[in-house]
């Protein structure tokens, strides 16, 4: 059965050692002597798992929002240069809205993660 790093992290040392017993890889040699932290790293290496966990923001496309914010910052700078106060206010409100949406999505993801544990 394929495991994810988060699944392995939630297991006990005894469960991890059972999994390591069935894996034939140089990284898990001496698995009976390893503590949980070292066993996790060894199993991740043996099973080719990514140990870097990424924060999920749900339905929000973070990179798309960041790109949109970058374009708005250029527009904001141009509005500052031309002293267009109406445009400046509009762009600042859009930036504020995008920042809030990212923060709210991150907070929601943290709440979901806390509810799982």
62 in Cβ contact with 51 (< 8 Å):
no
Sequence-distant (≥ 6) Cβ neighbours of residue 108 within 8 angstroms: 57, 58
With bands split at pLDDT 50, 70 and 90, how would you rate the model's confidence at 50? confident
User: What is the model's pTM?
Assistant: 0.52
For residue 68, the model assigns a pLDDT of 96
Kindly state whether residue 52 falls inside one of the protein's structural domains: no
- The helix/strand count (H/E) of the chain reads as 5, 0
Range of the domain at 80: 62-116
What total of structural domains would you count in the chain? 2
Kindly state whether residue 54 falls inside one of the protein's structural domains: no
Q: Which of 80, 81, 101, 98 is nearest to 89 (CA)?
A: 80
Both 112 and 66 in one domain: the answer is yes
Tens of pLDDT, residue by residue over 2-24, are 888 888 989 999 999 999 999 99
CA quadruple 68, 74, 80, 86: dihedral sign:
negative
Supply the Cα-derived Rg of the chain in whole angstroms: 23
Both 109 and 70 in one domain: the answer is yes
Both 34 and 69 in one domain: the answer is no
């Amino acid at each position: 059965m394929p495991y994810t790093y988060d699944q392995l992290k939630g297991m006990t040392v005894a469960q991890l050692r059972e999994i390591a017993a069935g894996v034939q890889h140089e990284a898990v040699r001496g698995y009976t002597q390893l503590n949980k932290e070292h066993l996790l790293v060894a199993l991740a290496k043996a099973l080719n798992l990514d140990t870097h966990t990424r924060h999920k923001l749900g339905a929000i496309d973070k990179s798309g929002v960041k790109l949109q914010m970058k374009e708005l910052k250029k527009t904001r700078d141009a509005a500052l240069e031309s002293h267009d106060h109406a445009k400046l206010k509009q762009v600042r409100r859009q930036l504020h809205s995008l920042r809030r949406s990212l923060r709210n999505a991150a907070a929601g993801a943290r709440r979901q993660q806390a509810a799982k544990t």
